């Protein structure tokens, strides 16, 4: 075949690294080749793929989840993306904890009755103006508009 050459590694090298539990990306880094070369050769050799390693243990995830933290908060503590935490939590069969809203619907309604606008409500409730806006709209409450 013209233009195609074998990868600069042997099947034995790939098999040895695979037996150590390394995944395609790790093997490619070790051998100085693209992971696509490892992927195709590994498949031709009939070797199962090893998944990417998570940078945290199941136990760490469970402990943080039991503290009531949501995926974003757990991700910040573990130094990973929220989606990584979400996948790990789902695999463990753990329910998601929602975002913690610092106020109730009734508190928002009461402040609205006082005639406060979204910015003022946000300051009083310790939330962002956007969160107040979202929940006001969700409750069907019209905005407070003051004449200048």
**Domain-located, residue 97:** no
In eight-state DSSP terms, residue 62 is: H
DSSP for 86-103 reads HHHHHHTTPPPP----SS
**Domain-located, residue 1:** no
86 and 110 assigned to the same domain: no
Per-residue pLDDT, 74: 92
**Domain-located, residue 51:** no
Per-residue pLDDT, 1: 47
Residue 66 belongs to what domain range?
Answer: 58-91
Query: Model's pTM, two decimal places?
Result: 0.41
Nearest CA to 69 out of 52, 85, 55 is that of 85
Per-residue pLDDT, 5: 55
CB 18 within 8 A of CB 27: yes
H/E stretch holding 123 reads helix 118-125
Q: From the CB of residue 12, how many other CB atoms can be counted at a distance below 10 Å?
A: 8
Rounded-to-integer distance, Cα 61 and Cα 65, Å:
6
**Domain-located, residue 147:** no
pLDDT tens digits along 39-80:
899 999 999 888 766 778 899 999 999 998 888 899 899 888
Rounded-to-integer distance, Cα 39 and Cα 23, Å:
9
Tell me how many domains the chain contains.
Answer: 3
**Domain-located, residue 99:** no
In which residue ranges of the chain is pLDDT below 70?
Answer: 1-7, 52-53, 99-100
């Amino acid at each position: 075949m013209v233009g195609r050459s074998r990868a600069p590694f042997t099947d034995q090298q790939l098999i040895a690294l695979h037996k150590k539990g390394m995944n395609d990306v790790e093997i490619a880094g070790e051998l100085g080749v693209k992971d696509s070369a490892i992927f195709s050769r590994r498949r031709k050799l009939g070797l199962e793929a090893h998944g990417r390693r998570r940078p945290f243990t199941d136990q760490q995830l469970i402990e943080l989840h039991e503290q009531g933290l949501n995926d974003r908060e757990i991700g910040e503590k573990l130094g990973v993306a929220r989606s990584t935490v979400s996948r790990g939590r789902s695999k463990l069969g753990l329910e998601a904890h929602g975002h913690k809203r610092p106020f109730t619907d009734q508190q928002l309604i009461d402040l609205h009755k006082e005639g406060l606008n979204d910015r003022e409500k946000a300051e009083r409730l310790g939330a962002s103006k956007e969160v107040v806006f979202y929940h006001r709209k969700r409750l069907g409450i019209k905005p407070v508009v003051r004449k200048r």
